[in-house]
A and B are shown apart, each in its own frame.
Chain A
C-alpha cells in the first residue's frame, strides 16, 4: 500500500460516520429532489423527465423539480451532475450514447468520466429514425443514400448535436454505404431540428422515433427508416435499416437516471424503488407511449452492462468522427 492509497482509505474511513445511515435512507427524501435534464426544455428527454417526476413526487410527497441544463450536447448538464453532492437530492438523466461520446472525445476536455457517476435506473429506449419533411423528393432511405453518393457533401443532414446518437447514425450510414458523404449540420435538440427541417434549411434529419411520431401521424414529415432490428410499434409501416439491407446501422438513444459517484447504496436502492414504481405506473406508461417513447426499465447489473457496452461502441465512432473527411 503506498502513501496515496493509505490517505484514500483514511479519507474513506473518516467519511463513514457522515454517510447516510439506514434511518436516513428510510426517511429519504426529506426535501425536494432536483432531476437534471442535460438538454433544453421541450425535447423528448425533457418530456419523459417531467412525466416521471410528476408521478414520483405524488408518491414521495416531495417535489421532484426538473432542471434543464442544456448546451454542448449534454456536457453542461453532466458536468453539473458530476460536481454535485452524492446525497441523492441531485440526480439527472444520462442519455447514452451521447453521454459516452462526450467522455470519449478528448477535445471536449470533460472533467468527468464513465466512473464519475452512479447509474440508477433506465427509463426509455428510443430507436433512431431517418426522416424528411412531407414534400421532400426523398421517398426512401435509398433515395437519400443515392443522392449523398452522387453529389458527396451536398445533402444536408441534421443531427440533434455533435456526437449525439443521431450523429453516430449518420456515420454508420456512411460506413455501411461506401461512397456516401453528407453535409452534417449540428442543431441543438429535437425542437430546433423540427423547425429547420420543416423550414427547408436541412434536407434529411436523424433523430429518434419519439420526437417525430406526432408529426408523422399528422402528415407533416415522412419517416424513411428506423435504425433498429425490429419495427417500432409507434411507426409500424416504416421499414428498419436491417430490412433495407443495412444491418450495421443500429442506433438508439436511451435515457436513464444517474447520480454523482459515491452515493450511499441504500439511497440508490431507495431511489430505484421510488423511480421504478413511478415508471411502472400505468399513467407513466400511457403518457410516454402517447408521445411515442418506448419504456425499457433497467436497473442493477442489466443497466450497468448496457452502460459499459454502449461505451465501447461510442469510443469507436467518436474516433472515426474525428478522422472523417467532409466533402
Chain B
C-alpha cells in the first residue's frame, strides 16, 4: 500500500464522530492547561492521561495529541493578554504579543498565532509523512558537541539582538547562566550554590522566574502610571491589515521551517525554536525597531515555529522511540499504557493505528483553528476590563500558578522577588529575554559541554574537529562580532570616516 493510501485509511479511522469529539474535548482541555501558568503541557498532559483509559487506543491517542496541541496554543493567550507566559514556548510571544494587545490589537495577535499554529502544524505533519524516517536518522548525528554549539548560537543570537547594548545583553545572559547553576550538579551529583536550603536542590524554577519577570514586572510598571485608558479592542479584527499579510506569510513560512528542523533533533525543547524564529524575524525586518513595540512578525513567526516544532517532535518518537521533550515523553508513556510502544517497529506492527494518529494530527490542527478563531474575540474582550481589576486578577493568577507547580511557597517567593527584579531591569532598560534564555538553556548547555569532554577525555579539540560543531561555533562568533559592531557607540563605528 502506498503512503497516501495508508494515510487515507488513517483518515477514515480517525474521522469517526466519536474521534472528532475526542479531538474537540482534548483541544479545549489542552487550551485550559496552556492558560494556567503553573500547569505546563507536560504536567497537564500527565494529569489528563487517566481520562483516556476508557477509550479505545485510537480515540485515546487522538485525544492526548489534541491536549498536547491545545496546551501549546493556550499558553499564547495569557502571554498576549496579560504578559504572563502560560508555558515556556510562549515566553517570546509576550514581547510583541502583549505590546499589540496594549495597542488594541490583541485579537489580531491571537488570530495570527492561531493561523500560524495551524499552518506550521499542518506543514510539519505533511513533512512528517513524507520524510520522517531518513531525516530522523540524520538528526542523530547531532551529538553532545553539536548540541553545545547549537545552544551557544542560540545564546549569542539573543544576547546580540535583544537590547540596546551588547554589554547589557551579555550581562543578562551570564546572570541567567549563573542562576541555572544553582542545584545539584548534573554529572557529579554534588549540591552547588544551595547554601543548605533544600528548596534550592532542584534549582531555581524557571516558571516562577518568568512569571515574576514578565507578569509581576508588568503589573508594577503599569501601576506607577496614575490613570490608564481602557483598551478598546476591535472584536472583528482577527486578521492583520492588508499590507501586513505579505510579511505575516513570510514569517509563518520561516517559522514552519525553523520549527520543523529543530523538532527533528531530540532534546532541543520547545523554547529554542521560538527564540530562533523571533530573532530571525527581527534580523530580517527592514525596521527592527518595531520589534518590542507590537511587530506582528514577532508573534506570527514564533507561534508558527512552536506548533511546527510540536508536530515535528513526533518524528523521533514515532520512528526511533526517542522522546524529544518532557511533554512528548509523557505522551510516550500514554501511548505505551494504551498498548502502543513507539519505536522502530511501530510502523510495521500497527500501521492502522500509526496512520490514524498521523491523520489525527491534521484533525487536531483543524479543530484547534476552528475552536480558537471564534474564541479569540472573547479572550481579547478581557482587556476591556478596567486595569485595576486586571492587575489584581493577574497577581492572583500568578501566585496561584507559581504555587501550583510544586505546592511550594518557596516558588511564590521566588516569583515575587523576580517581579521586583523585573521591574528594576525594565526601568534600567536591561533586556529580559537573554536572562530567561540563560536560565532555560543553562542546564542543557552545561550537560552537553561536560558530556562532550567525557567523549574526548578532556580534549577541547572535539569542538573544532567535528564539521557541524565547527560551523555552528563560527556562526556564534560571527553573530557576536556583528552585534558588537552594530551596537558600538556611533563615534567608534564611524571613526574611520573622519
A residues whose Cβ falls under 8 Å from a Cβ of B = 40-42, 46-47, 50-51, 54, 57-58, 63, 65-66, 68-69, 71-73, 75-76, 79-80, 83, 102, 105, 107-109, 111, 153, 156, 162-163, 183-188, 191-192, 194-196, 198-202, 214-215, 217-218, 220, 287, 290-291, 326
Contact B333 A66 (CB under 8 A): yes
Q: What 1/0 flags go to B38-62 for Cβ under 8 Å of A?
A: 0000100011011001000000000
Q: A185-B455, A214-B343 are in contact. Are A54 and B337 (CB under 8 A)?
A: yes
Beyond A40-B326, A186-B187, 11 additional pairs, beta carbon < 8 A: A42-B323, A46-B333, A54-B50, A63-B50, A68-B329, A71-B186, A71-B202, A186-B451, A198-B140, A201-B144, A215-B344
Complex alpha-carbon distance, A109 and B189, angstroms: 8
Residues in B whose Cβ lies below 8 Å from that of A75: 184, 189
Contact B341 A191 (CB under 8 A): no
Residues in B whose Cβ lies below 8 Å from that of A111: 198
Interchain nearest-CB distance for A74 vs B (Å) = 9
Contact A51 B344 (CB under 8 A): no
Q: A162-B188, A201-B143 are in contact. Are A215 and B266 (CB under 8 A)?
A: no
Residues in B whose Cβ lies below 8 Å from that of A58: 53
Interchain nearest-CB distance for B445 vs A (Å) = 14
Contact A40 B202 (CB under 8 A): no
Residues in A whose Cβ lies below 8 Å from that of B188: 107-108, 162
Q: A41-B332, A47-B333 are in contact. Are A63 and B47 (CB under 8 A)?
A: yes
Contact A191 B189 (CB under 8 A): no
Q: What 1/0 flags go to B308-351 for Cβ under 8 Å of A?
A: 00000000000011110010111011101101010111000000
Contact A194 B321 (CB under 8 A): yes
Residues in B whose Cβ lies below 8 Å from that of A220: 344
Which residue, of A40, A54, A290, has the highest number of chain B Cβ atoms within 10 A? Answer: A54
Nearest residue in A to B338 (C-beta to C-beta)? A54
Q: A47-B333, A66-B333, A191-B266 are in contact. Are A109 and B191 (CB under 8 A)?
A: yes
Residues in B whose Cβ lies below 8 Å from that of A69: 202
Interchain nearest-CB distance for B370 vs A (Å) = 31
B428 part of interface (Cβ distance < 8 Å): no
17 A-B pairs, CB-CB below 8 angstroms?
Answer: A40-B326, A41-B333, A42-B323, A42-B328, A42-B329, A42-B332, A42-B333, A76-B202, A79-B201, A108-B190, A109-B190, A163-B189, A185-B455, A186-B187, A196-B144, A200-B140, A200-B141
Contact B189 A108 (CB under 8 A): yes
B residues whose Cβ falls under 8 Å from a Cβ of A = 42, 46-47, 49-50, 53, 137, 140-144, 183-191, 198, 201-202, 266-267, 320-323, 326, 328-330, 332-334, 336-337, 339, 341, 343-345, 447, 451, 454-455, 457
Complex alpha-carbon distance, A102 and B201, angstroms: 15
Residues in B whose Cβ lies below 8 Å from that of A201: 143-144, 455
Nearest residue in B to A201 (C-beta to C-beta)? B143
Q: A42-B329, A162-B189, A218-B344 are in contact. Are A54 and B321 (CB under 8 A)?
A: no
Complex alpha-carbon distance, A290 and B345, angstroms: 12
Residues in B whose Cβ lies below 8 Å from that of A40: 326, 329
Nearest residue in B to A68 (C-beta to C-beta)? B326
Interchain nearest-CB distance for A233 vs B (Å) = 17
Nearest residue in A to B141 (C-beta to C-beta)? A199
Contact B190 A41 (CB under 8 A): no
Contact A50 B333 (CB under 8 A): yes
Complex alpha-carbon distance, A163 and B190, angstroms: 13
Interchain nearest-CB distance for B251 vs A (Å) = 31
Interchain nearest-CB distance for B159 vs A (Å) = 26
Residues in B whose Cβ lies below 8 Å from that of A54: 49-50, 53, 337
Nearest residue in A to B454 (C-beta to C-beta)? A185
Complex alpha-carbon distance, A66 and B447, angstroms: 25
Interchain nearest-CB distance for B468 vs A (Å) = 11
Nearest residue in A to B265 (C-beta to C-beta)? A195
Complex alpha-carbon distance, A326 and B198, angstroms: 34
CB-contact partner of B187 in A105, A162, A196, A199, under 8 A: A162
CB-contact partner of B186 in A72, A196, A214, under 8 A: A72
Complex alpha-carbon distance, A239 and B211, angstroms: 54
Q: A186-B451, A214-B321 are in contact. Are A105 and B202 (CB under 8 A)?
A: no
Contact B341 A291 (CB under 8 A): yes
Complex alpha-carbon distance, A54 and B46, angstroms: 11
Interchain nearest-CB distance for B463 vs A (Å) = 13
Contact A71 B322 (CB under 8 A): no
Contact B201 A107 (CB under 8 A): no
Residues in B whose Cβ lies below 8 Å from that of A46: 329, 333
Contact B457 A326 (CB under 8 A): yes
CB-contact partner of B455 in A153, A156, A287, under 8 A: A156
Q: A50-B336, A76-B202 are in contact. Are A41 and B140 (CB under 8 A)?
A: no
Interchain nearest-CB distance for B418 vs A (Å) = 22
